Chain A
Amino acid sequence: MTDIAQPDRCIVCTTCTVMCPVAKNCLDFLGPRMIGPAHQRFRLLGMGEDESLHYCSNCKNCDISCPCDVPVSTFIMRARAEASREKPPKFRDWILAHGELLACWLRFIPAVFKNFGMGFAPVRLLLHALGIARQAPLPAFAAQTFRRKFKSLSQPQNLPRQVVLFPGCFVDIYEPESGLDIVAVLNRAGYEAITPEGFVCCGLPLVANGFWQNARQNARRNLEELARWTDRGLPVLTACPSCALMFGKDYAEYFPDLLPRNLSPVLVDVCEFLTGCMERGELSAPDVAPGAATTGDDHILYHAPCHLRALGAGLPGLELLRLIPGLRAEYADSGCCGISGSYGFKKDKYAIGMRVGSALFSAMRQSDAKLCASECGTCRVQMRHGGGKQTLHPVSILRRWLDGK
Chain B
Amino acid sequence: MRAFRVVVIGGGATGIGILRDLSMRGVTAVLLEQGGLAYGTSSRFHGLLHSGARYAVSDVEAARECIEENAVLRRIGRHCVEKSEGLFVLTAEDDEAYVRPWLEACAEAGITTEAVAPDEARRLEPALSPEIRQVFRVPDGGIDGFRLVWHNAMSARRHGGQVRTCHKVTGIESANGRVTAVEVCDTLKKETYRLACEYVVNAAGPWSGEIARMAGQTVDITPDRGTLLAFNHRFTSHIVNRLHESADGDIFVPHGSITILGTTSARAKNPADTTPAPEEVLRLLSLGEPLFPAVREYRILRAFAGNRPLYTPPDHDAGRSASRNFVIVDHEKDGLAGFVSIFGGKLTTYRLMAEKMTDLVCGRLGVATPCRTAEVPLAEQPSEEMLARAARRLPAHRTQLVAERLGDQFADIVGGLEKSGGSDLLCECELVTRAEVELAAGDEATHFLHDIRFRTRLGMGTCQGSYCSLRAMGALTEIGAPFAADAQAALRLFLQERWRGLRPVMWGAQVQEIELGRAIYGSTLNLNGGDDETD
Q: Which residues of A contact B (CB under 8 A)?
A: 2-3, 6-14, 33-34, 37-38, 40-42, 44-51, 68
Further contacts, 13 of them, CB under 8 A, given A11-B512, A50-B395: A8-B298, A11-B516, A12-B429, A13-B516, A14-B467, A34-B428, A41-B257, A42-B431, A44-B233, A44-B257, A47-B397, A50-B397, A68-B509
Contact of A12 with B395 in the complex, beta carbons under 8 Å: no
B233 and A12 contacting across the interface, CB-CB below 8 Å: no
A37 surroundings in chain B (CB, below 8 A): 462
Q: Are B428 and A38 in contact (CB under 8 A)?
A: yes
Q: How far is the CA of A7 from the CA of B463 in the complex (A)?
A: 12
Q: Give min CB distance, A38 to chain B, whole Å.
A: 6
- Contact flag A41-B233 (CB < 8 Å), given A10-B462, A50-B397: yes
Complex interface residues of chain B between 232 and 275 (CB less than 8 A to chain A): 232-235, 237, 256-258
Cβ–Cβ < 8 Å partners of A50 in chain B: 395, 397
Cβ proximity bits B263-307 to A, threshold 8 Å, 1 near / 0 not: 000000000000000000000000000000000011100000000
Interface presence of B401 (CB below 8 A)? yes
Q: Which of B256, B431, B463 is A12 in contact with, Cβ under 8 Å?
A: B463
Is B126 in contact with A2, judged by CB distance below 8 angstroms? yes
In the complex, what residues of B have CB within 8 A of residue A34's CB? 425, 428
Please tell me if B461 contacts chain A, counting CB pairs below 8 Å. Answer: yes
Q: Which residues of B contact A (CB under 8 A)?
A: 126, 232-235, 237, 256-258, 297-299, 395-397, 401, 425, 428-429, 431, 461-463, 466-467, 509, 512-513, 516
Q: Are the CB atoms of B233 and A6 closer together than 8 Å?
A: yes
Partner of B401, one of A11, A12, A47: A47
Contacts of A45 in B (CB 8 A): 234, 256-257
Which residue of the partner chain B has the closest CB to A52?
B395
9 contacts between A and B (CB under 8 A): A8-B297, A9-B509, A11-B462, A11-B509, A12-B466, A37-B462, A38-B461, A41-B257, A68-B512
Q: Complex Cα distance A45/B400, Å? A: 13
C-alpha gap A107/B463 in the complex (Å): 54
- Chain B residues with CB under 8 A of A13: 516
Q: How far is the CA of A345 from the CA of B234 in the complex (A)?
A: 38
Q: How many Å from the CB of B28 to the closest CB on chain A? A: 41
Q: Which residues of A contact B235 (CB under 8 A)?
A: 6
Q: Which chain B residue shows the least CB distance to A9? A: B509
Contacts of A12 in B (CB 8 A): 428-429, 462-463, 466-467, 513, 516
A6 touches B126 (CB 8 A): no
Q: Which B residues are CB-close (under 8 A) to A40?
A: 233
Question: What's the nearest-Cβ distance from chain B to residue A97, in Å?
Answer: 25
Instruction: Using CB atoms, name the residue of chain A closest to B467.
Output: A12
Identify which of B237, B428, B509 contacts A44 (C-beta below 8 A): B237
Contacts of B428 in A (CB 8 A): 12, 33-34, 38
User: Which residues of the partner chain B approach A8 to less than 8 Å between Cβ atoms?
Assistant: 232-233, 297-299, 509
Bound-state CA distance A285–B509 (Å) is: 48
Please state if B232 and A7 are interface contacts (CB–CB under 8 Å): yes
Measured CB to CB, the closest approach of chain A to B214, in angstroms, equals 44
A7: chain B residues within 8 A (beta carbon): 232-233, 462
CB-CB under 8 A from A9, the residues of chain B are 299, 509
Q: Say whether B234 contacts A44, CB under 8 Å.
A: yes
* Nearest-neighbor residue (CB-CB) of B513 within chain A: A11
The 9 closest A-B pairs by CB, nearest first: A48-B397, A8-B299, A12-B463, A41-B257, A44-B234, A11-B513, A11-B512, A41-B233, A8-B232
Cα–Cα distance between A48 and B394 once the two chains are bound (Å): 13
- How far, in angstroms, from A401 to B395 measured CA to CA in the complex? 56
What is the bound-complex CA distance between A49 and B397, given in angstroms?
7
Report the bound CA distance from A7 to B233 in whole Å: 7
In the assembled complex, the Cα of A129 lies from the Cα of B448 at a distance in Å of 54
Give the residues in chain A near B237, CB-CB below 8 Å: 44, 46
The smallest beta-carbon distance between B525 and chain A, in angstroms, is 16
**Residues from chain A with Cβ under 8 Å of B233 in the complex:** 6-8, 40-41, 44
| A12 to B299 CA separation, bound complex (whole angstroms) | 13
B429 touches A38 (CB 8 A): yes
Which A residues are CB-close (under 8 A) to B234? 41, 44-45
Are the CB atoms of B462 and A41 closer together than 8 Å?
A: yes
Q: Please, which residue of chain A has its CB at the minimum distance from the CB of B236?
A: A44
Q: How far is the CA of A6 from the CA of B298 in the complex (A)?
A: 9
How many angstroms between the C-alpha atoms of A46 and B516 in the bound complex?
30
**Of B126, B257, B509, the contact of A3 (CB 8 Å cutoff):** B126
Chain A residues positioned under 8 Å from B297 (CB to CB): 8
A66 CB to nearest chain B CB (Å): 12
Q: Which of B401, B461, B462 has the most CB of A within 10 A?
A: B462
Enumerate chain A residues within 8 angstroms of B395, measured Cβ to Cβ: 50-51
Closest to B231 in A: A8
For the complex, what is the distance from the CA of A40 to the CA of B126, rounded to whole Å?
17
Contacts of A38 in B (CB 8 A): 428-429, 461-462
Which residues from A are CB-within-8-Å of B467? 12, 14
A2 to B461, CA, bound (A): 24
**In the complex, chain A residues whose CB is within 8 Å of the CB of B299:** 8-9
Task: Tell me the minimal C-beta distance from A377 to chain B in angstroms.
Answer: 36
Most chain B beta-carbon contacts within 10 A, residue among A9, A14, A41: A41
Nearest-neighbour CB distance to chain B for A27, whole angstroms, equals: 11
| CB closest chain-B residue, reference A10 | B462
Min CB gap A71→B, angstroms: 14
CA separation between A68 and B462, bound complex, in Å? 14
Q: What CA separation (Å) do A48 and B257 show in the bound complex?
A: 13
Q: What is the bound-complex CA distance between A14 and B516, given in angstroms?
A: 11
Q: Knowing A2-B126, A6-B298, A12-B467, say if A42 contacts B516 (CB, 8 Å).
A: no
Report the minimal beta-carbon distance from B9 to chain A, rounded to whole angstroms: 36
Q: Report the separation of the CA atoms of residues A42 and B425 in the bound assembly, to the nearest whole angstrom.
A: 15
Instruction: Give the contacting residue for A51; candidates B256, B396, B431; CB below 8 A.
Output: B396
B461: contacting residue among A41, A44, A48, A68, CB under 8 A: A41
Among B234, B237, B297, B461: residue with most chain A CB under 10 A:
B234
A48 to B233, CA, bound (A): 16
Given known pairs A38-B462, A41-B462, the reply for A48 and B396 (CB within 8 Å) is yes
Residues of A within 8 A of B463 (CB): 11-12
A12 CA / B428 CA spacing, docked (Å): 9
Bound state CA distance, A51 and B394, in angstroms? Answer: 10
Closest Cβ–Cβ distance, residue A237 to chain B (whole Å): 38
Q: How far is the CA of A48 from the CA of B395 in the complex (A)?
A: 10
CA distance A33 to B467 in the complex (A): 13
Distance in angstroms between the alpha carbons of A51 and B398 in the assembled complex: 11
Question: Chain B contacts of A2 at CB under 8 A?
Answer: 126
Q: In the complex, what distance in Å separates the CA atom of A338 from the CA atom of B234?
A: 36
In the bound complex, how far is the Cα of B513 from the Cα of A51, in angstroms? 28
Q: Are B257 and A42 in contact (CB-based, < 8 A)?
A: yes
Question: Complex: how many Å from CA A68 to CA B401?
Answer: 29
Chain B residue at smallest Cβ distance from A44 = B234
